[in-house]
Structure 1
């Protein structure tokens, strides 16, 4: 005779209830630079409950029945985590639809919504494979667009660094984006729109251009030219 069957001890999730964050919870989370989370309670057929927190958008989908029940406890948690992964990737693509982002920006924003690292890294990896996300492309466009606005090299480098991108690693940087004559032309254009101070004009105008990211030598040449006129 064979061994007697061992009864399964697995429990099933029979109900999911969700408490979405109210205005006070959203305000508290905003003060620390995060988004408020939804509180989720999974009721087992044994009467026990399992409590978890998920990003609010995931909570709204669970509230609408995104996970079919009843199902075994482990399977239910796997389904919730799979849902979180899909929502995480959807939010990533929405961010990129509004404007291009560096990877570090995407990572920081998704983390602020409460997504787990595994979901964030999985979404970023998938976006890279689909060429939705590319730091070199982002940086090249960012530099070109800021150059058109009249930004100097140092200011652009500082802003890229703040977004998690090292300008020195951008293909062709800096020669593909800057020339000394181009820097001087942008400095001239900025000075042409600015009133010459009555006192300490040279010092103030040089400081103005340096604060916009221009090298001191370029700033000094542009100001001397402007004052000579």
Structure 2
């Protein structure tokens, strides 16, 4: 007759250590927001009470900081994947960063000048891959405006950038 094995119950210290290990592993890849880390640990099967303890400890050790995360996220976007203010705001909100933190970091890092520069860079990239010959001229520039708008730039900025390009055509 086979022996039935009972499920092994972890004690509280083991659960806490396992959640810490998972959290450190996740943070070793990249900076994360508090909310993002919470969701990932929940998906891994950790209990909310344990997760809250781990997150409190990580915040005390300054391994978890939403302001630093938002700054890193915006700097990375500016350098590698240009996006407008509205798109960045939406991304950070989806990551669970508080609106006050988002506003302060955006105001600190994203000036009107570098946002315009990013919009121009994206517009030029779009122009290189889309021939004006395919479209009626008005439709071409309308598509360019839509593209920039979908990347999170304001209507005013989009109109400034596109009218400047239209003048140079």
What range describes the TM-score normalised by the shorter chain of this pair? Answer: 0.7 to 0.9
Q: Equivalent residue for 1:127?
A: 58
Structure with higher RCO (Cα < 8 A, 6+ apart): 2
Residue number among 81, 105, 112 corresponding to 2:43 in the alignment: 112
Q: Which residue of 2 aligns with 1:193?
A: 125
Q: TM-score by structure 2 length?
A: 0.85
Please list every run of 5 or more consecutive structure 2 residues that lacks an aligned counterpart in the other structure: none
Q: Which one has the bigger strand percentage?
A: 1
Residue aligning to 2:92: 160
Per-residue deviation at 1:191? 1.3
Instruction: Kindly indicate whether the alpha-carbon contact (under 8 Å) linking 2:89 and 2:102 is maintained by their aligned counterparts in 1.
Output: no
In the other structure, the counterpart of 2:115 is 183
Cα pair 1:139 1:167 within 8 Å, conserved:
no
Task: Calculate the TM-score normalised by the size of structure 1.
Answer: 0.64
Return the index of the structure with the highest Cα Rg.
1
Q: Provide the secondary structure at the position in 1 that maps to 2:32.
A: coil
Deviation at 1:174, TM superposition (A): 3.0
Give the alignment partner of residue 100 of structure 1, picking from 31, 45, 59: 31
Map Cα deviations across residues 121-171 of structure 1 (whole Å, 9 max, x no partner): 111111111111111111111111112221111111101011101343247
Paired with 2:155 and 2:98, the residues of 1 have a C-alpha distance of 22
Structure number with the higher helix fraction is 2
Q: Distance in 1 between matches of 2:20 and 2:119?
A: 42
- Cα deviation for residue 173 of structure 1 reads 3.3
Runs of 4+ residues deviating >2 angstroms: 166-175, 195-199
Distance 1:155 1:193 in 2: 18
Deviations 1:3-36 (A, max 9, x none): xxxxxxxxxxxxx94xxxxxxxxxxxxxxxxxxx
Give the conservation status (yes or no) of the 8 Å contact 2:70–2:105: no
User: How many residue pairs get matched?
Assistant: 158
Work out whether residues 19 and 54 of structure 2, in 8 Å CA contact, stay in contact via their aligned partners in 1.
yes
Gaps of 5+ in 1: 1-15, 18-40, 43-61, 63-76
Once the 2 structures are TM-superposed, how far is the Cα of residue 184 of structure 1 from its aligned partner? 1.3
Q: What is the aligned partner in structure 2 of residue 136 from structure 1? A: 67
**Which residue is equivalent to 1:212?**
151
